[in-house]
Structure 1
Amino acid sequence: MTFPFFLNTETWAGRACLLAAVSALAVSAGILTAPHSASAQNLDFFNSEAPAADEDLLLEANNLTYDFDRDIITARGEVQVYYDGNTVQAAQIVFNRGTQQLTATGNVIFLDTEGNILRTEELQMSEDFAQAFARSLQIDMPNRTRLIAEQATREDGNVTVVENGVYTVYTNPSRPAGKAPLWRIRSKTIVHDKQEKVIRFEQPSLEFYGQPVLYAPFLSMPDPTVKRHSGFLIPNWVIADKLGFGANIPYYWALSPHRDLTTTFTPLTRQGLFVDVDFRQKFRRGDFSLSAGGIYQLDPDQFNTQRADSDMRGAFRTTGTFNVTGAWNLGWDVTYKSDRAFFEDYSFTSWGGNETSRIYFEGLTERNALSFNTYGFQIAQADYTSSNFNADGFSPVGSNLQSKQPLVLPVVDYDFVFADPVLDGELSLAANFTSLTREETDAFSIDGGTNARFRGVDGTFSRLSVDGNWRRTFVDPLGQTFTPFAYMKGDLFFLASPDADVTALAGESFVGRAMPAIGLEYSYPIIASFNGGNQIFEPIAQIIARPNEQRIGELPNEDAQSIVFDTTTLFDTDKFSGFDRAEGGTRLNVGLNYKLQLNSGHYLTGLFGRSYHLAGENSYKVPDILGATQDSGLESDLSDYVGSLYLDTKYGVKLGTQARFDKDDFSINRLQAQASAIYGPVVSSVAYAFLDAQPNVGIDDTREELLGSASLRLQENWRVFGSMRYDLQNSNVVQDGVGVGYDDEGFSLSLSYSEDRSRNDGDTTNRLLFFRVGLRTLGNTQIQSNAINN
């Protein structure tokens, strides 16, 4: 028979001892965190406060007795205690009010509100928690980690000692009973000093499948109540033919609760000592970091002279983001490196770097946005060595490509959408101001040097653009959609260039340009339902009337050099990618959109169409100073055809493709296709790309590549994977890689090898060997072999 009792804790303070003890025991496995990580778990499992006086406690037992003579309360037989969301059960619970000792015995199990489960055979505790003892202890945490110990003792209310402790992760349920886990940490004694907030391990060892592989005489680390603590982190390893063998040895400095510093020393057998530092500071409204690394190379001749021409090599990077007000943010990401290939040769740096540096200040509200940006570029590409593209007066051979990169200061963008309708339609404004300075003209030639093409012009180039857009949508009773629209673009250019022959702006400081336009977009979705799904046929037409584009070929083109004509840009009113070009003339865009949706889960969508130049001068036919538009598929009055198709099946197979077909013979001028599939243990993807020749920009041959990757799961935990990028036109492998990996509930391992022949940095092949080992909750270590080149 079970006797339930509702007891007020104010009348029996000691009855909370068990709950307080086991509650703290359940969070005792956070003992192996990295020096700089934090955990809510605590090895000091006897440190717990008594419950509040107004909380009720429910005790259920088959038998409950009170010995008045000895002042002992005993609960026996399926004892269960419920208190404040916590549950404990035991065969017997005894509370000696005379000695103020509480003892729970017999399959003691405790479940706390955080999901921790504690199991022990015996638990003893004094009322003031200063002394305690637990025997045959096991704690399972929600993060699938486990602590097992023969016994645990608390002394003097401060020091907790665990004897013969083992820390590991949950084993897979399919693992045979009694079989040792893949890895575990065993220590003869674990001592937690609450006052010093330090956990000490005596004679710890790392075991794999029950066999010790790594010993240490002692190990200490901060207890989990310390969020950040100074100490060594797990090292990584480096192997490279130009660097030699080395090890990253990081040390973490917890300078304050809001700042830290990581210093990493990497001795390399061939090049010497590489040192990098990473400082981080957090404020109430933001944070920033400052990182730097460098080396004095012992053998600089190992590297290509185009990559590095100095014994001293290094870089620094700083990042930051701050909320100035609720809507305004200030930030930056700035990198400087001593040479173009620094991060490729020394890719093991802990903080990395970007080729593009940016400083920004931006504000965003519901209907408007304003941003200020500054950009700088440090490229990794080597200088040209071929004279095939020499331009008269602007030879790329022997010139410094870095000096041809602009400093963009500033780029200002403003976008605003009016809250109230204007003529019952939506009115929006966009403005852009860009100013950039380039030290050297970036030019090339495709016809032996007589006709130069310009990617950029030296000097200072500035442009102010304003764009106003209005549109309104009508839907008639038949479901036809009519969207009239209008826009007005205005630009003001300024160019100060020392090369008087570059453009027709010589002698003209300012040039203005305006482009008004009106248009109408029409669509009529027709829905056809059938047994098993539905399909939609939607013809779409768009007509735009505007004057001719002004000053084509006379103005710099910095941000509208990429012309990609496909279904994603078919119905763009202006298909140029930036502000420096403005599409002119009257144009008609038409297409047919199709969608098929099956109740079984299959989904298919496609779009096919083309563009017609109806009147005026075709902006894509007249070349600008770069000439990129002449092979765009839009340079004739009848454009190429464009189409796209996307298929998604419920069986894990997905297919997507974009294509541009020649207007005369329907041959393929551009094609991109991707497919992915998951079938059983195989995960695979393949991509195909075809680009026809573009003689107007110096590309005389077609380009055709195939990219594939696959992963095969051999057993429950083992997998092999590989990838390849193949140049079909030249019949050679551009990139390839292969690897093997192991992953289970607490351990991961991977070994991969890859080759890259696509880098234009003075080396023909870059090889990378990567080895990684990870122990869940403890950390990762890796061996990286990089910069192995031929």
Structure 2
Amino acid sequence: MSFPVSLNTEIWAGKGRLLAAASALAVAASLCSAAMAPVRAQDAQGLTADLAGHVNPNSELLLEASEVTYDFDNDQIIATGDVQVYYDGNTVQAHRIVFDRKSQQLRALGNVIFIEASGNVVRTEEMTLSEDFSEGFARALQIDTTKRTRFLAEKARREGDNVTTIENGVYTVYTKPTNPPNKPPLWRVRAEKIVHNQQEKIIRFENAAFEVYGKPIAWLPFLSMPDPSIKRKSGFLMPYGLVSDKLGYGVTVPYYWALSPHYDMTTTLTPMTKQGLFGDVEYRHRFEAGQVSVSAAGLFQAQPSQFSTPRADDRWRGAVSSSASFSLGKDWTLGWNVTYKSDRAFFRDYSFASFGDNGETSEIFLEGNTDRNALSVRAYAFQLSQEDYEDSDFDANGFSPVGSSLQDKQPLVLPVIDYDYVFADPILAGELSLAANFTSLTRDETDAFSIDGGTTAKFRGVDGTFSRLSLKGDWRRTFIDPLGQSFTPFAYMRGDLFFLASPDADVTALAGETFVGRAMPAIGLEYRYPIIATFDGGNQILEPVAQVVARPDEQRIGELPNDDAQSIVFDTTTLFDYDKFSGFDRAEGGTRLNVGLNYKLQLDSGYYLSGLFGRSYHLAGENSYATPDILGATADSGLAGDLSDYVGSLYLDTQYGVKLGAQARLDKDDFSVNRLQAQASAIYGPVVSSLAYAFLGAQPDVGIDEPREELLGAATLRLEENWRMFGSMRYDLQNSNIVQDGLGVGYDDEGFSLSVSFSEDRSRNDGDSVNRMLYFRVGLRTIGNTQVSSGILN
């Protein structure tokens, strides 16, 4: 016999567990049979509190249903009609739920949805759960995890609130709700048994098969993988293969060691048919105040004669690297990034090393920053990847680069100290800032070359130890008049002190001098007058700019080393710099006027256009750019004459996927192009593309007799929803040849990615005219990535 308790019943079991709810329902049913009156939720809650005082008070249960009845004969509570049970973070939804008081089990029937506290969602037609939801059983179910992975099972059992065992199951991934809901996954793993241990965070597959488009392609007698909800778990990572005429056939097998929540390690072994066993290890440790990593890779080459580059034919080859960053306090950071390799070509020949970059610059640093001041202390060492010169035309007065090592000419820079400070309070109603730099470097061998067969030597660096201390104070103040004109007077004072240890007497005029001082005071004024015009649909700004800087001549040009001011790029980004040298070793002198016209256009539709055009005038004193130093880097800078070249820039953003930018330097006499850089990017429909163009005119004073002109393009074409084609090309217009090119095809969705690409490189100076690479990559979300690369040399 059974009695209906109530329609639209809501019972809140304030003391938790289903036993409490069952007791309340039983009492409610008894009252209902006597008085035939609905039981209010408040009454059921009170009865539950009286009859279930022994239940865990920390758990609560809420039952909602259209109708709840109590079957006296079978001692069962039956809820029907859009039933929902909430308990301890779990939710069960079903058309009908039956609670058997004798077995203490809950059975849900009809479109059952079980949402675990962890967020996993189980869907089935019938499910049996224990009274505390910790154990359960179901047939023909689907489990969706929070990481968008999916289990499909013939039947599944959950035990101990921990282990879920799936029989005749399938593991795969699924797409976001915004994607086509019926789109089948490209891959899946089918197994006789899948065991998901939530405590150990691991999934085990027994007698499994890997399927693609529903067809098995690989049998896996035993497979285990970390739970997708975790990021760190010891185990093998996906291997990948390689094919190379110098290395042979090989396969890379990585193993990840989750040693602790604070440190881990990855070890990798790569056996190769031609070169033997390649080993690679990377250790990472995270501290409360920072982190550090140490990596090492190398091998004993079985066939070193396969390589033609110097030292690449050594038997032992390898590299070690370490990087770190530690917070020493609120504003201080200590760190390093150091790499040592056995030879220059190691990372090119064994590019699959875990830290396979060029590793040319190593540094150790200490830096501190606040809102108004900054201090950094750094040390640098350089280990080149560039091969030595082989052109005898670059011989230079006994400093021939031919047959000598460029590596021996690299300096050790220790230390480089930079300090910047901006005063918080105005000084003379303006802003005052201070800057200081101390640099010391040591070079064992003079770095020299010649552009005319040895007659004239040019020096990138001189042997010995050179130290320089530079101090600079900079003051400025801005006035704006009623018309909107902006006047910014400024002044700076800079002093340099050089310490020269054993300079080469054949290079500089400083033989016998140990300390050399230099000073450079300057005053100036900058004028701007932005003229704003607003029209229907947008606005535009036309702004003339003029800047004059007065100072004495630069001292001792060509007598001092120049290591950090060798790059002179004159364009609109440096047009209004007080000093256009890139470093402290040179100090611009003389009186100079810089003028330009700035234009900006902003349309309401989103289009934005900006441009700047101008030039520089040397008015008085000695032109620092006309007087060469020991390198002669300023001769073709565009600033050597009293009238400089013209410089201009243009930038366009359509806000609809098309962007254009260009920088140009035009000859002061005939407006011919001396330097031009232009780039464009566009997104139009299924096409994403970019194009860059670079031109540099001949610079005979630095040994470049012919212009250099290159075009670089790249594009990606979306073919289908998930398919794409991509390619790139770097073309030397001057010599009419392809420097680099590549072409590939790829597939990407939320669970699978694949790409195949082929590339050619003719820019490497390693004895091979063309380096070709075939690259194949496969990625499976939650399982891993694998790849095969093949190097084919011509």
Taking structure 2 as the reference length, what is the TM-score of the superposition?
Answer: 0.91
Of 647, 666, 669, which residue of structure 2 is paired with 1:642? 647
How far the C-alpha of 1:572 sits from its partner, in A, is 0.5
Distance 2:120 2:201 in 1: 22
Structure 1: segments with no counterpart, 5+ residues: 18-49
* 8 A Cα contact 1:704 1:727, kept in partner: yes
Residues 54 and 270 of structure 1, relative CA distance in 2, 3 Å threshold: closer
How far the C-alpha of 1:782 sits from its partner, in A, is 0.5
Deviations 1:692-748 (A, max 9, x none): 111111111111111111111122221111111111111111111111111122111
Matched, 1:122 2:126: yes
Deviations 1:266-301 (A, max 9, x none): 111111111111112222211211111111111111
Q: Residue 693 of structure 1 aligns with which residue?
A: 698
Higher mean C-alpha displacement, 298-307 vs 245-254: 298-307
* 8 A Cα contact 2:10 2:65, kept in partner: no
Distance 2:160 2:518 in 1: 85
Q: Residue 762 of structure 2 aligns with which residue?
A: 757
Higher mean C-alpha displacement, 110-119 vs 230-239: 110-119
Residues 178 and 210 of structure 1, relative CA distance in 2, 3 Å threshold: farther
Q: Quick one: which amino acid aligns to residue 765 of structure 1?
A: V
Q: Residue 456 of structure 1 aligns with which residue?
A: 461
* 8 A Cα contact 1:2 1:60, kept in partner: no
Q: Residue 168 of structure 2 aligns with which residue?
A: 164
* 8 A Cα contact 1:6 1:56, kept in partner: no
Higher radius of gyration, 1 or 2: 2
Q: Residue 426 of structure 1 aligns with which residue?
A: 431
Q: Residue 30 of structure 1 aligns with which residue?
A: none
Return the structure number with greater relative CO, CA threshold 8 A, min gap 6: 1
Higher mean C-alpha displacement, 364-373 vs 216-225: 216-225
How far the C-alpha of 1:77 sits from its partner, in A, is 1.2
Deviations 1:180-235 (A, max 9, x none): 42101111111245676654311111110001111111123455687643321110
* 8 A Cα contact 2:17 2:60, kept in partner: no
Matched, 1:149 2:157: no
Q: Residue 34 of structure 1 aligns with which residue?
A: none
Q: Residue 74 of structure 1 aligns with which residue?
A: 78
Q: Quick one: which amino acid aligns to residue 97 of structure 2?
A: I
Deviations 1:417-471 (A, max 9, x none): 1111111111111111111111111111112212111111111111111111111
Distance 2:220 2:777 in 1: 22
* 8 A Cα contact 2:360 2:385, kept in partner: yes
Q: Residue 485 of structure 1 aligns with which residue?
A: 490
Q: Residue 659 of structure 1 aligns with which residue?
A: 664
- After superposition, the CA RMSD in angstroms is 2.4
Matches within 5 A, 1:553-564: 553-564=558-569
Taking structure 1 as the reference length, what is the TM-score of the superposition?
Answer: 0.92
Structure 2: segments with no counterpart, 5+ residues: 1-5, 23-53
Q: Residue 301 of structure 1 aligns with which residue?
A: 305
Of 582, 585, 591, which residue of structure 1 is paired with 2:596? 591
Matches within 5 A, 1:111-260: 111=115, 116-128=120-132, 131-155=135-159, 159-170=163-174, 180-192=184-196, 198-221=202-225, 228-260=232-264
How far the C-alpha of 1:177 sits from its partner, in A, is 8.5
Q: Residue 494 of structure 1 aligns with which residue?
A: 499
* 8 A Cα contact 1:381 1:761, kept in partner: no
Distance 2:180 2:531 in 1: 61
Q: Residue 673 of structure 1 aligns with which residue?
A: 678
Distance 2:551 2:236 in 1: 67
Secondary structure of the corresponding residue to residue 645 of structure 2: strand
Of 268, 290, 293, which residue of structure 2 is paired with 1:289? 293
Q: Quick one: which amino acid aligns to residue 379 of structure 1?
A: L
How far the C-alpha of 1:138 sits from its partner, in A, is 1.3
How far the C-alpha of 1:128 sits from its partner, in A, is 5.0
Q: Quick one: which amino acid aligns to residue 690 of structure 2?
A: S
User: Percentage identity across aligned positions?
Assistant: 71
How far the C-alpha of 1:259 sits from its partner, in A, is 2.1
Q: Residue 582 of structure 1 aligns with which residue?
A: 587
How far the C-alpha of 1:665 sits from its partner, in A, is 0.7
Distance 1:319 1:412 in 2: 20
* 8 A Cα contact 2:254 2:266, kept in partner: yes
Q: Residue 611 of structure 1 aligns with which residue?
A: 616
* 8 A Cα contact 1:642 1:659, kept in partner: yes
Deviations 1:564-605 (A, max 9, x none): 000000011110000001111111111110011111111111
Distance 1:235 1:714 in 2: 30
Residues 221 and 493 of structure 1, relative CA distance in 2, 3 Å threshold: same
Q: Residue 27 of structure 1 aligns with which residue?
A: none
Q: Residue 744 of structure 1 aligns with which residue?
A: 749
Counting matched residue pairs gives: 757
Of 300, 323, 326, which residue of structure 1 is paired with 2:327? 323
* 8 A Cα contact 1:542 1:571, kept in partner: yes
Residues 518 and 695 of structure 1, relative CA distance in 2, 3 Å threshold: same
Of 350, 358, 367, which residue of structure 2 is paired with 1:362? 367
Matched, 1:314 2:312: no
Residues 60 and 294 of structure 1, relative CA distance in 2, 3 Å threshold: same
* 8 A Cα contact 1:14 1:95, kept in partner: no
Residues 222 and 678 of structure 1, relative CA distance in 2, 3 Å threshold: closer
Residues 478 and 110 of structure 1, relative CA distance in 2, 3 Å threshold: farther
Q: Quick one: which amino acid aligns to residue 169 of structure 2?
A: G
Q: Quick one: which amino acid aligns to residue 336 of structure 1?
A: Y
Higher mean C-alpha displacement, 54-63 vs 417-426: 54-63
Secondary structure of the corresponding residue to residue 647 of structure 2: strand
Secondary structure of the corresponding residue to residue 62 of structure 1: strand
Of 63, 66, 74, which residue of structure 2 is paired with 1:62? 66
Higher mean C-alpha displacement, 566-575 vs 211-220: 211-220
